[in-house]
Amino acid sequence: MLDEKLTKIERKVIGEIWQSGEMRENHYFMADELGSRFAGTESEKKAIEHMVNKLKEYGYENAHADPFKYYGWTRGPASLTVTEPYQKEFPVISLAISPGGEVEAEVIDLGTGSPEEFEAIDPKEVEGKIVLASSATSPAGKRVHRRTKYGYAVEYGAVGFIFMNHNPGQLPPTGSVRPAYRLGGEIPGVGISLEHGSHMRRLAKGRSLKAKLTNQSRLNPDTESANVVCELEGSSKKDEWIVIGGHFDGHDIAQGAMDNLSGTVVIMDLARALKKYEGKFKRSIRFICFACEEIGVTGSTSYVDKHVDEMKDVAIMLNLELGGLANKDGTQHAAFTLFQPTSLKEKFEEFADEIGYPMTVSTGTSAASDHWPFYMQGIPAVTMGSEPSPAQLIVGRGWGHTTADMMDKVDPRNLQEGVMVIARLVLRLANQEEKIADHTPLEEIIAHLEKTGMKKTLKIQKKWHPHSTR
Ligand SMILES: [Zn+2]
């Protein structure tokens, strides 16, 4: 519950968010004028400069770019030519962090490329072949990350990897194959649309399908990028930090208007709306727009690595992976996923009751976004996710990671309501008298990851390093 003073502030903050067109303008400008903001591009540099300047304009003198080094990558053309049973070229695009190379081999269809499907066959069957796997939900009903599928293909000795979209629309997917804060990909990987991938599958039925795969992408070790950071100083508990973060980079084949410019503009608008009340909140708030998430959660991992001594002071990390509200089951609602500790669930449910907004609070474990490196430091971590509207008739990642992730898919009102819900949550978290939650000890996290099978997945992805930050 907020006291009278804070209730007044809340009313003004909500009014400010609802009345202002600033977030919408910022969203259009960054998508339409600046572009994808993808790691290593000119667009990324311009976006960093723009965000720092905007936050300064909002009053944050401490807004700055915080640089780090990583394993960079430059997209090159890719091609896929079936050579048997007959010659035919299929349009493909490179997956991010794929090395360049040329391979010619038999194609093996691994279905959705889930661990169960890989483990059901002899690795010798895969060795020396090109693996074809789709982004569909596994036969066991699980959504398996692309990096896991690629990891299995490498582990089994495949020489190439074809990742097929499960959503229609002639949309070959991109996405990274390895965490770029550690290493680059080992075998060339490409994305293919559902339509062309299905064509290949039909050709492969009952006979041998051979293909030549080329990729002219390049890995560039020692590339530099930067996260964008600004801070709002608290009062009586100013040494406790609430971190509100989300990645600003999108993939280079589109605008990444939803994934994750939507989260970025939500963070910036929240920072804007709260700035006027600096000094009125107990805890401090650190807003971070992360770079390079799309290449293996690289910006946030580098941030935690660089600032590891400060992590003990982070009271909670709120990640915005897609900034708006969810539409699942046809109702617009705020969808929170709590990563740790699960004891916070009750607090979030109380919050839902208090503000009277439709809300779901689920628990889960995921390594695939910017909360992850904070989670590994034991920090309470939660994400608010969004889903496309039912009218868009797509499932899973939807338009994300394809050329269709453009501004026309964004619903600005949905985002605006999203910021209002988050503002109300942050005001409560920043001002509650009692501790938000205890940090989780590393041994407990490791035990949880072993029990849930995540350790095995992370090993396959080359992301298992619980005792080092990167
Ligand atoms: Zn994302």
Report d(CA 66, CA 228) in Å as an integer: 6
What is the enclosing helix (H) or strand (E) of 130? strand 130-134
Q: Is pLDDT of 302 > 90?
A: yes
What is the pLDDT averaged over residues 258-265?
94
d(CA 4, ligand 1 centre) in Å = 37
d(CA 261, ligand 1 centre) in Å = 9
d(CA 342, ligand 1 centre) in Å = 23
- What Å distances lie between residue 63 and 135, 254, 378, CA to CA? 38, 27, 26
What is the pLDDT averaged over residues 164-185?
94
Report d(CA 336, CA 345) in Å as an integer: 10
pLDDT band at 391 (very low <50, low <70, confident <90, very high): low
d(CA 246, ligand 1 centre) in Å = 8
d(CA 265, ligand 1 centre) in Å = 13
Tell me the chain's radius of gyration from C-alpha atoms.
Answer: 22
Domains delineated in the chain: 4-73+221-460 (3.40.630.10), 76-216 (3.50.30.30)
Report d(CA 439, CA 403) in Å as an integer: 40
pLDDT of residue 378: 98
Q: SS3 for 183? A: coil
What is the pLDDT averaged over residues 111-128?
97
d(CA 293, ligand 1 centre) in Å = 7
> Residues with Cβ < 8 Å from 224, sequence gap 6 or more?
67, 68, 69, 70
- What Å distances lie between residue 351 and 113, 269, 336, 343, CA to CA? 40, 21, 12, 14
d(CA 292, ligand 1 centre) in Å = 10
d(CA 247, ligand 1 centre) in Å = 7
- Measured at the alpha carbon of residue 36, what is the angle toward residues 130 and 42, in degrees to the nearest 5? 105
What does DSSP assign to residue 158?
A: -
pLDDT of residue 409: 86
d(CA 321, ligand 1 centre) in Å = 5
Neighbour count for residue 328 (Cβ, 10 Å): 15
d(CA 369, ligand 1 centre) in Å = 7
Q: Is pLDDT of 291 > 80?
A: yes
Neighbour count for residue 318 (Cβ, 10 Å): 24
Whole-model pTM: value is 0.95
d(CA 370, ligand 1 centre) in Å = 9
Report d(CA 262, CA 240) in Å as an integer: 27
pLDDT band at 412 (very low <50, low <70, confident <90, very high): confident
d(CA 297, ligand 1 centre) in Å = 9
Query: 3-class secondary structure for 374-385?
Result: HHHCCCCEEEEE
d(CA 251, ligand 1 centre) in Å = 9
Q: Is pLDDT of 393 > 60?
A: no
User: Contacts for 40-46 with beta carbons within 8 Å, 24 or more apart?
Assistant: 40/72, 40/73, 40/74, 40/220, 40/223, 40/225, 41/252, 44/225, 44/249, 44/291
d(CA 336, ligand 1 centre) in Å = 16
pLDDT of residue 206: 87
Average pLDDT value over all residues in the chain: 94
What is the pLDDT averaged over residues 128-142?
96
Which amino acid makes up residue 157? Answer: G
Record the tokens describing residue 22, joined without a space. Answer: 């600033």
d(CA 211, ligand 1 centre) in Å = 32
d(CA 277, ligand 1 centre) in Å = 30
Record the tokens describing residue 135, joined without a space. Answer: 């982004």
- Helices (DSSP H) in 205-329: which residue ranges? 261-275, 298-306
d(CA 437, ligand 1 centre) in Å = 26
- The DSSP bridge pattern shows strands 218-232 and 93-94 to be unpaired
**Which strands make up the sheet holding 218-232, listed edge to edge?**
64-74, 218-232, 283-290, 237-247, 314-321, 381-385, 334-340, 359-363
Q: Is pLDDT of 69 > 80?
A: yes
188 preceded by a cis bond (ω within 30 of 0): no
d(CA 260, ligand 1 centre) in Å = 5
Percent of all residues in the chain with a pLDDT value above 70, rounded to a whole number:
97
pLDDT band at 394 (very low <50, low <70, confident <90, very high): low
d(CA 188, ligand 1 centre) in Å = 23
d(CA 160, ligand 1 centre) in Å = 25
